[in-house]
């Protein structure tokens, strides 16, 4: 298990590195031209029209203001969240939980010019993009339980949409504003269309205040460390997976989806009224007890357990009261069966489901847990057990005649005179 976890982390790190690898390839693949050359000849040699350039930002002719702070910008995003609380019932009791839900994300961008000194080219940020120079502009929470349909964050007025009662009680709202400032030098990668650079239809626009070379260096660094870290982790995961302790699915502490014959006590969780299904393979028929045990919880499970045949027929079923033990007694032949554990009273908590333990054991006089050598009647002659099939055969086997007892030794009788 530890090896699997390490491998998953390694793959995630390698995935991040691969994304940066693709980002670097995209930057290198896109034609790069001076702003003046693009202004004179807005044509890309790339089949999809990809183009990149770099230059100083010129303020847009039509000023764009971030809505909360009224800060001049090239692009902004404002995330508006609803803060709520509600009561949830879990097996550990009833508690009040708090959270947030995004109601809206307001976005807009400006059209402006970049100029590296050779002439200006127009850039359109209206459709957003992959920006690494976003700044925090405004953040505020409005707390309380009584709200009108209109709220205000700084200079922004916002109409609250209808909210259902199932979404908990509203205890406030929150706005977070981020923006791209009108300043500095920018590298931009997009699609050349007409006489300006816009967002490509197939990819996001890319913009950075690091410049083309600085962005390439940053991407290469992230890729390098991700590949090294992910590679080392992946290599370390292999011996952990090979030589680490192997869990026996029949004795592990967590129940698997498939079980065979008897099953040591395992732990699981049921989160729906319809219950959990397990496949049960019986290799040697006999009598079994399928047991579902509810642990001691503030709000406990009323366990129910049943065994069904391949045709869906119920072969055995048991249920118990809250926190009890349910037992289904079955007498089955070799084959495949289904075991179902469910809340017998039809009640399910709001979140987290109910924990339970499951065990399958041979009933008294039922099937043994493993093949055992047949017992041999000590009264049989040597080699006779090979031909004996069952107890009746043993009873019917002829007994050998008992040897005659030797005469008792003693002094010879005296003769009468």
- Domain harbouring 354, CATH code: 2.60.120.380
Name the pTM for this structure. 0.70
Digit-coded pLDDT (tens) for 229-238: 988 888 887 7
Considering the domain boundaries, does residue 73 fall inside one? yes
Residues contacting residue 66 through CB under 8 Å, at least 6 positions apart: 73, 76, 78, 137, 138, 177, 179
Considering the domain boundaries, does residue 400 fall inside one? no
- Mark whether 299 and 340 lie in a shared domain: yes
- Mark whether 220 and 299 lie in a shared domain: no
The number of folded domains in the chain is 2
- Mark whether 326 and 184 lie in a shared domain: no
**Segments forming the whole domain that contains residue 353:** 258-362
Place of tokens 């366990």: 303
Considering the domain boundaries, does residue 240 fall inside one? no
pLDDT band at 268 (very low <50, low <70, confident <90, very high): very high
Considering the domain boundaries, does residue 58 fall inside one? yes
Digit-coded pLDDT (tens) for 27-67: 999 999 999 999 999 989 998 889 999 999 999 999 999 99
Rounded to whole angstroms, the Cα distance separating 181 from 76 reads 9
Considering the domain boundaries, does residue 299 fall inside one? yes
Which domain-ending residue is among 334, 362, 390?
362
- Mark whether 144 and 272 lie in a shared domain: no
Which domain-ending residue is among 189, 204, 235?
235
Digit-coded pLDDT (tens) for 190-244: 999 989 999 998 789 999 999 999 999 999 999 999 999 988 888 887 776 666 6
Which domain-ending residue is among 313, 331, 362?
362
- Mark whether 218 and 356 lie in a shared domain: no
Digit-coded pLDDT (tens) for 250-259: 556 889 899 9
Q: Are 190 and 126 in contact (CB under 8 A)?
A: no
Considering the domain boundaries, does residue 97 fall inside one? yes
- Mark whether 181 and 50 lie in a shared domain: yes
Looking at residue 409, its pLDDT comes to 41
- Mark whether 27 and 90 lie in a shared domain: yes
143 backbone dihedrals φ, ψ, rounded to 5°: -105, 150
- Mark whether 153 and 42 lie in a shared domain: yes
- Mark whether 271 and 127 lie in a shared domain: no
Q: Which of 153, 170, 202, 181 lies closest to 49 in space, CA to CA?
A: 202
CB neighbourhood size of 186 (10 A): 22
User: Using CA of residue 341, residue 347, residue 351, residue 355, what is the dihedral sign?
Assistant: negative
Considering the domain boundaries, does residue 250 fall inside one? no
């Amino acid at each position: 298990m530890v090896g699997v976890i390490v491998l998953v982390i390694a793959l995630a790190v390698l995935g991040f590195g691969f994304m940066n690898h693709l980002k670097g390839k995209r930057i290198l693949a896109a034609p790069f031209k001076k702003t003046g050359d693009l202004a004179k000849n807005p044509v890309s040699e790339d089949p999809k029209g990809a183009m990149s350039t770099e230059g100083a930002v010129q303020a847009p002719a039509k000023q764009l203001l971030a809505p909360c702070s009224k800060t001049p910008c090239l692009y902004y995003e404002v995330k508006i969240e609803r803060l709520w609380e509600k009561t949830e019932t879990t097996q550990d009791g009833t508690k009040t939980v708090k959270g947030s839900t995004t109601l809206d994300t307001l976005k807009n961008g400006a059209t402006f010019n970049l100029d590296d000194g050779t002439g200006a080219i127009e850039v359109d940020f209206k459709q957003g993009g992959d920006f690494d120079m976003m700044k925090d502009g405004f953040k505020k929470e409005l707390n309380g339980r009584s709200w009108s349909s209109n709220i205000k964050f700084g200079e922004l007025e916002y109409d609250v949409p209808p909210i259902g009662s199932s979404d908990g009680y509203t205890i406030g709202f929150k706005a977070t504003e981020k923006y791209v400032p009108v300043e500095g030098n920018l590298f931009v990668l997009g699609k050349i269309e007409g006489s300006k650079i816009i967002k490509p239809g197939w990819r996001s626009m890319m913009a950075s205040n690091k410049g083309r070379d600085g962005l390439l260096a940053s991407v290469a660094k992230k890729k390098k460390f991700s590949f090294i870290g992910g590679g080392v982790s992946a290599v370390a995961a292999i011996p952990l997976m090979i030589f680490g302790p192997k869990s026996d699915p029949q004795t592990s502490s967590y129940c698997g989806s498939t079980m065979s014959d008897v099953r040591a006590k395992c732990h699981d969780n049921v989160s729906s009224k319809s219950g959990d299904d397990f496949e049960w393979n019986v290799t040697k028929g006999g009598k079994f007890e399928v047991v579902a045990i509810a642990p001691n919880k503030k709000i406990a499970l009323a366990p129910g357990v049943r065994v069904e045949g391949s045709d869906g027929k119920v072969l055995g079923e048991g249920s118990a009261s809250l926190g009890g033990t349910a037992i289904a007694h079955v007498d089955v032949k070799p084959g495949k069966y289904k075991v179902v554990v469910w809340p017998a009273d039809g009640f399910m908590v709001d979140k987290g489901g109910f924990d339970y333990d499951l065990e399958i054991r041979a009933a008294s006089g039922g099937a043994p847990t493993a093949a055992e050598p047949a017992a041999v009647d000590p009264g049989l002659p040597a080699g006779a057990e090979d031909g004996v099939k069952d107890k009746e055969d043993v009873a019917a086997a002829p007994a050998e005649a008992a040897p005659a007892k030797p005469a008792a030794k003693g002094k010879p009788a005296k003769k009468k005179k």
